[in-house]
Structure 1
Amino acid sequence: MRLVIAECQVDYVGRLTAHLPMAKRLVLVKSDGSVSIHADDRAYKPLNWMSPPCWMTEEPAPEGTDVHAVWVVTNKGGEQLRITVKSIEHDSSHEMGMDPGLVKDGVEAHLQELLAEHVTTLGEGYTLIRREYMTAIGPVDILCRDADGATVAVEIKRRGEIDGVEQLTRYLELLNRDATLAPVSGVFAAQVIKPQARTLATDRGIRCVTLDYDKLRGTESTEFRLF
């Protein structure tokens, strides 16, 4: 991983355009080719990024300017993230090695496995694309298609809280940049979903699904029910 702290301007040119004026920022260049731009806020969410497959080239600085270099990150669709670097304060590379990945607790891991086996729990006509669909920012629990063939990303939690909705939102922002998948909608699935998380998900167009663990395992709950 390459870490660069630089005073830079960033322009995204593609289906959409976005501009970040000159300021000091952190640029992360990962071994998978992805590049993300970070400010000193917004927690872990980048200001802008380019997902793999992509590649970075360096253009010479324009003559008569105080620009150090122009880094151009291009994806397979021809979209570009143009980083105009005025000065570099820090530039280092680090070998991270193989990451073991996020280890879910037993219930969440089993819920993911069961829901993948019974993906029609999400709706009639749903079909599985794959579990643990890898992205530049981590694996999506389940990627599937609905009855109309549209792509759906599913985030699974034992307890559905706001952090889980935020996580799914980041995945959706990333996946919707892939023309082969977009448009991608989201499903937030959990055994229990807190009201605040449900409200946030609904506001962002994410559907919430409450999972019955016993039913997915093919057994009925022994609890008394009113209905």
Structure 2
Amino acid sequence: MRIIVADCSAEYTGRLQATLPMARRVLLIKADNSLLIFSELGSYKPLNWMASPCTITDITPDYADDDPATEVPQKVIRATATKSTDILEVTLQHIYSDETYDLGEDPGLIKDGVEDHLQRYLAEQIERIGEGATLVRREYPTAIGPVDIMAIDGSGVHVAIEIKRHGGIDGVEQLTRYCELLNRDPLLAPVRGIFAAQTITPQARTLAMDRGFECLLLDYDEMRGVEDDSLRLF
């Protein structure tokens, strides 16, 4: 993991155009070459990013023939997407820190037992999201964390599924971030979202519907094959 603290500006070109003016920010460059730009304020969502697969190029500007009074950036970092023409170019005017750390192998997120079981059961019973659905994989990797389940519905559309025991607004926001990122990949888009949980708060359901997501209630006992014995005498 490479961590850079610098005064920087950024330009994203390609399928979309976006500009970040000069400010002090943190850049994370992961082992897979994903580049993420963060600011001090706001949530943990990056201001802009280039997801893997991409190529990172360090450029040392050379303005020897230009006006010597012009301030020369210390470095330009260019991230070029492999599967599209997208380019994220970050101009580092002043670098305060540029360090690389070997984080080693990560064991991954250890989830609550019930939540992990819900994910496994739904992956095994993926037809619960609709007839003809097929599983792509559990823990589908993205630059901002793994999607619980990625599937393809009966119409051939990719589906990102976020699973919680108790579904609240935070879970809907998490699914929103995944879908926004995944829909930038032309090989996946369009990607729709399903918010699945044992219980879903009214506020989360309203927000999910507003974002165009489907809500799916999961019956843990029924999914793991526990019979209903409420009418039995023995």
Q: Displacement of 1:43 after TM fit? A: 2.3
Alignment partner, residue 31 of structure 1: 31
Length-normalised TM-score, structure 2: 0.91
Alignment of 1:1-227 (within 5 A): 1-61=1-61, 63=63, 64=66, 65-66=70-71, 67-76=73-82, 77-222=84-229
Alpha-carbon distance between aligned partners in 2 of 1:172 and 1:40, rounded to the nearest angstrom: 24
- The number of residue pairs the alignment matches comes to 224
Q: CA RMSD in A?
A: 1.5
Deviations 1:4-43 (CA, angstroms, capped at 9, x unpaired)? 1111111111111111111111111111111000011222
Amino acid at match of 2:180: E
Q: Percent identity between the aligned chains?
A: 54
Deviations 1:158-195 (CA, angstroms, capped at 9, x unpaired)? 11111211211121122112211111111000000011
Amino acid at match of 1:131: R
Q: Displacement of 1:123 after TM fit? A: 1.2
Length-normalised TM-score, structure 1: 0.93
Alpha-carbon distance between aligned partners in 2 of 1:190 and 1:49, rounded to the nearest angstrom: 29
Q: Displacement of 1:59 after TM fit? A: 2.8
Alpha-carbon distance between aligned partners in 1 of 2:229 and 2:122, rounded to the nearest angstrom: 21
1:165 partner SS: helix
Comparing 53-62 with 6-15, greater Cα deviation is found at 53-62
Deviations 1:129-160 (CA, angstroms, capped at 9, x unpaired)? 11111112221111001111000000111111
Query: What 5-or-longer segments of structure 1 have no aligned partner?
Result: none
